[in-house]
Structure 1
């Protein structure tokens, strides 16, 4: 039977053509949770403010955002669905597991087997995310399904526990066709991630490695792209007085790898949102960055970065 590509959003499935201009790595909702106890700036749960900022994004031409908060660290499927309805912005919700620092030390992630984690992720993709995001003991499936599976590595080499997460994520990817997104700390261990993905048989063209524009090495980024994975750059607005390495990487690598680079804001702190009184606001990539791309002579790649590449990446692959 022929596979028909689709994008799975919190409000239902879309064709890739319906995805439109897409931010590939965002944090739209971070509800009260262990991460927000550690840093109140992570708290993003004011529905009016969030809906207003996303509505501004929609009016400026944006259509889709990928929310990258995975299981049990602030994810809320009902709130994601509500702000999607209110703003008209399509939202892709994540399953998977984030960095260890965003979970209590005795969290269930450490006790569950590869098979149990796999089933949890598959159920999020195919049945719907638990209404209470596994703060349980009871599970009540919502109607809202995940459209991406996430994992994360930190500063240290990939641990045995993280390898279990890798196995469960790839199992889910191969079983359902769901795309994979990863977190790196400033691009560290991105190549190690790819090596493990290759070993496990994942489809590299449906994997995106995030935050690698913080790794200040053109050859490293080039070698990563040569493996066939996609990368996500999100620090264009973060460089202050120092050289803007996001721009430097784009100038060098976009002409070489126009089909593999995506971008987002990763605006996980409320002081980046205009509706919370912060800067630069989520429209930065639609305004300041777009003009900067024109000044660099790279405006012809804008559609690839924000439309073509995300549509290919976030389509469920044939299984």
Structure 2
């Protein structure tokens, strides 16, 4: 038996439909708020709603909101947007990367985690077991004390390194996965350290087919992608539209290389739309409709020209693969 856990209840995987695998809808990351980085604060529920409605208008059915506890979630706002837009939203328990932990711990979290000053202090002083228990509670009871449960668990590491505290959160998330059967998502900074993360996950007995690795297009290295795919894990190409990191041709080439090697069932696509300047209704960016309305037709054209069935691949990447990747299997 398998199911997908959304903010508004568990659903059959067949109900998921066209899915973005890594987005941020409403969030106020404490680290960036303290630095005065307004572009990184998605803090207007109504503007976020308008972009989600654009996505839904083009046939979008589900969004994975990858906002972890240290990235300033607004669970109530996102659950309201999901309801108003008529889309499924999968919430995220767990952690991001370590430099974010320099920020002050919000008062609302202290009853649940302890009266620590910063995220760093909490993660440093808590045991792996205590961190795992926090993640488990967010999957089984609700995010930050709300009734809205997480549908995946997450960890992250920095650029070309894994700190001791990041390793601690990987192990905590792995143990929460074993307890809950929730799928795992990995943040890889600029697409690095996935293979090193895999070694830690293996030492915790994790079946890699339950794991998706984010930001793979930030490291457009087909050999590296193949080594990850060989483990059975999913690879998320979630920087669509971010030309500052590389042209779409590079992303599409990497995706089609994986297809050519037989890994088409392990590919996910999204935009990681985490800035006001990426959103249409905040700051005239490409917006959440861009992938489904404009990138997908281009991908189909390029895939067809390369001898593949582009429409079939789109269905795999946005419907069938997410339905397997984000399922709890008990």
Q: Calculate the TM-score normalised by the size of structure 2.
A: 0.89
The structure richer in helix per residue is: 2
Out of 54, 67, 70, the position equivalent to 2:65 is 67
Residue by residue over 1:122-158, the C-alpha shift from the partner in whole angstroms, topping out at 9 and shown as x without a partner, is 000001122xxxxxxxxxx211111111100112422
Residue of 230, 244, 252 corresponding to 1:247: 252
Choose which of 255, 259, 267 in structure 1 pairs with 2:273.
267
Which piece of structure 1 moves more, 63-72 or 293-302? 293-302
Moved over 3 A (4+): 240-244
Instruction: Give the direction of change, closer, same or farther, for the CA distance of 1:241–1:124 in structure 2 (3 Å limit).
Output: closer
Q: Which residue of 1 aligns with 2:46?
A: 48
- Counterpart of 1:79 in structure 2 is 77
Once the two structures are superposed, residues 71-93 of structure 1 have per-residue CA deviations (whole angstroms, 9 ceiling, x without a partner) of 14311211111111111111111
In structure 1, how many angstroms separate the alpha carbons of the residues matched to 2:254 and 2:245? 17
Task: Give the aligned partner of residue 91 of structure 2.
Answer: 93
**Residues 68, 241 of structure 1: alpha-carbon distance in 2 compared, 3 angstrom cutoff:** closer
CA RMSD of aligned residues (A): 1.6
The question of whether the paired residues in 2 share the 8 Å contact of 1:35 and 1:74 is answered with: no
| Matched residue, 1:237 | 241
Is the CA contact 2:98–2:166 (under 8 Å) kept in the aligned structure 1? no
1:1-319 aligned at under 5 Å gives the runs 4-31=1-28, 33-38=30-35, 39-104=37-102, 106-107=118-119, 108-130=122-144, 141-239=145-243, 243=247, 244-255=249-260, 256-296=262-302, 297=304, 298-318=310-330
The superposition leaves residues 56-76 of structure 1 with CA deviations (integer Å, 9 ceiling, x where unpaired) of 111110011011111143112
Q: CA deviation at 1:26?
A: 0.4
Alignment: residue pair count: 305
Structure 1: gaps of 5 or more residues: 131-140
**Deviation digits for residues 282-310 of structure 1 (CA, Å, limit 9, x no counterpart):** 11111221111122113320000000000
SS in 2 for 1:287: helix
Change in 2 beyond 3 A, CA 1:283/1:201 = same
- Residue 13 of structure 1, CA deviation: 0.9
For residue 240 of structure 1, report the CA deviation from its aligned partner.
5.3
TM-aligned CA deviation for residue 159 of structure 1: 2.2
Is the contact made by 1:206 and 1:317 (CA closer than 8 Å) also made in structure 2?
A: no
How much does 1:104 deviate?
A: 2.3
SS at match of 2:5: strand
The alignment's TM-score, normalised by the length of structure 1, stands at: 0.91
Question: Cα 1:45–1:241, aligned 2, differ >3 Å: closer, same or farther?
Answer: closer
Work out whether residues 214 and 245 of structure 1, in 8 Å CA contact, stay in contact via their aligned partners in 2.
no
CA distance in 1, matches of 2:26, 2:46: 12
Kept in 1: contact 2:238–2:270 (CA 8 A): yes
